[in-house]
Amino acid sequence: MSYLVTIGLEVHCQVKTNTKMFCACETSFAEEPNTRTCPVCLGLPGALPVLNRHAIEKTLLAGLHLDCGSPEISKWDRKNYFYPDMPKNYQTTQMDLPLCIGGEVPVYDFNYPTDVRKDIPRPGLKVRLNRIHLEEDVAKSTHLGTTSVIDYNRAGTPLMEIVTEPDIETSAEAFAFLRSLQMILQQGGISDADMEKGQLRCDVNISIRRQESDPLGNRIELKNLNSISAVRRAIDYEIERQWEDLQAGIEQIQSTRRWDDDRGESQLLRTKEDAHDYRYFPCPDLLPVHTEPLLEKVRPMLTERPHERAGRYEKDFEVTAYDASVLAADLPLANYFEELVATSGSSGKKAANFLLNNLLGSLNERSIAISDSPLSPGKSGALLGLVEKGTLAISQAKEVLTVLLDAPDQDPAAVAKELGFEPADAGELDALCDQVIAANPKQVAEIKAGNEKLINFLTGQVMKASATKPNPKQVTDLLKGKLE
Ligand code: ADP
Ligand code: MG
Ligand code: ZN
């Protein structure tokens, strides 16, 4: 017996703006409660909203980054319900004419959870979007025993709702989708999309059915998911729960459930029958928006997206597909990489190796982010340049790197010299090679007979005899020339 899973996500994402959606209050996080409020965001009678142009522009920009279209005219609607965290008793949102329609999110393979990365069922998956609309966030309630307290600082913060088509089939895909979306929004400067700060929140809709020819099952909506890993756990739990019901012949009633991540289970909140009737109607206080003039303004702000950057690294720098995607995923790392290529005079492939395998490894050991690297790309470039010139072997460059990380003001060439990593005097090195060849006739014979690896032994002898520590590769090359 098997089944098919269908998942659609509704992602709420705070737009990065200085002020709120309909008033001039500052957007804030973790400020003194109720200090960023005014009559508009407190819903006082007679207060009138004023549109935040930046929030609209950023949402349109999000649409461009996600290949959405936009209707010519986008309008505002009131969604009516009573909630203490929405004092106007309606939320201003968008119903039938959202700012963005359609679009898609490329799901990056490297964003899958590590345990599935080796066996991704649908590599290169693209999840279609249904729409992106702009609305206002609600206040934050905290429940303390029998009372609740409310902080209106968050009320009225611009909030995008990104709705996917039901294109997702596994919890791992949902996980990778969210990370990819988060990355695109962050790099595009649209949102910080920090889930821990509540800037990115997500509701999950799930249904299952037995086979392709069956209609989609009734969907269950899961709320209260506050991390990407919780989304994965909640989906796995819900699939299991629905599958057990299906086997027992129990049909799902369209409903909303609350995920309890500590207990690892969901509880029923409400079924479709007692769903709210929001009685949407067009907001009489706000004019519809002509999208084209605003789109024209934001089009130049569309930046390179991670998959495009990775493609460029592969094509222009001949970096492997995997390295390219790793570099492109992190903007500070990508910028570091490009400067490193420019300053080292080294190939992109070598620069990527040095950056990912040597520098990043050393920084990780010290818990330092690339953006805080004590070594500037220029300094790393100078070091890598010494490898490029043949002065240093990569193993020697690593030792220089270790010293430089603790003394970043020093010059890479000077540190190399201090460590004794100096090209030996050419004549002296030549003489040393001749000596070692003469002193080891047995090994030389074996090398000539085809045991090429044994040349490393001779290299070692030359290195030992040398007063400085020349680049072993240079020594090997010199020996090879002599033995040919
Ligand atoms: P509503 O406005 O009532 O929440 P939407 O049409 O906006 O309904 O759908 C909400 C989400 O549910 C979308 O992401 C959509 O892809 C998803 N969805 C719709 N039908 C199903 C289904 N049968 N199974 C799983 N997800 C679904
Ligand atoms: Mg919805
Ligand atoms: Zn306000």
Task: Give yes or no for a contact between 82 and 113, defined as CB atoms under 8 angstroms apart.
Answer: no
Ligand 1 — pocket residues by CB below 6 A? 6-10, 163-166, 205-207, 216-217, 219
Ligand 1 centroid–CA 225 distance in Å is 17
Ligand 2 centroid–CA 260 distance in Å is 21
Residue, of 427 and 166, whose pLDDT is higher: 166
pLDDT tens digits for range 432-460: 888 889 899 998 888 888 888 888 898 88
Residue 276 predicted with pLDDT over 80: no
Residue 177 predicted with pLDDT over 90: yes
Ligand 2 centroid–CA 164 distance in Å is 10
Cα–Cα distance between 3 and 209 in angstroms, integer? 6
Report the predicted TM-score, pTM, of the whole model to 2 decimal places.
0.85
- Out of 219, 220, 221, 254, mutate this one to test ligand 1's pocket (max ligand atoms within 8 Å of CB): namely 219
Predicted confidence at residue 273, as pLDDT, reads 72
Residue 1 predicted with pLDDT over 70: no
Task: Give yes or no for a contact between 136 and 155, defined as CB atoms under 8 angstroms apart.
Answer: yes
Rounded mean pLDDT, 377-405: 90
Ligand 2 centroid–CA 276 distance in Å is 12
Residues 6+ apart with CB under 8 A from 449: none
Spell out the domain ranges in the chain. Answer: 4-298, 304-418, 426-483
Residues with Cβ within 5 Å of ion ligand 3?
A: 23, 25, 38, 40-41
**Which residue puts its alpha carbon closest to atom 5 of ligand 1?**
163
Strands (E), 36-146: 73-74, 77-80, 90-93, 100-101, 104-106, 126-136, 140-144
- Out of 5, 9, 10, mutate this one to test ligand 1's pocket (max ligand atoms within 8 Å of CB): namely 10
Closest CA to 258 of 214, 221, 303: 221
pLDDT tens digits for range 35-74: 999 999 999 999 999 999 999 999 999 999 999 999 999 9
What's the gap between Cα 260 and its chain centre?
A: 26
Task: Give yes or no for a contact between 90 and 159, defined as CB atoms under 8 angstroms apart.
Answer: no
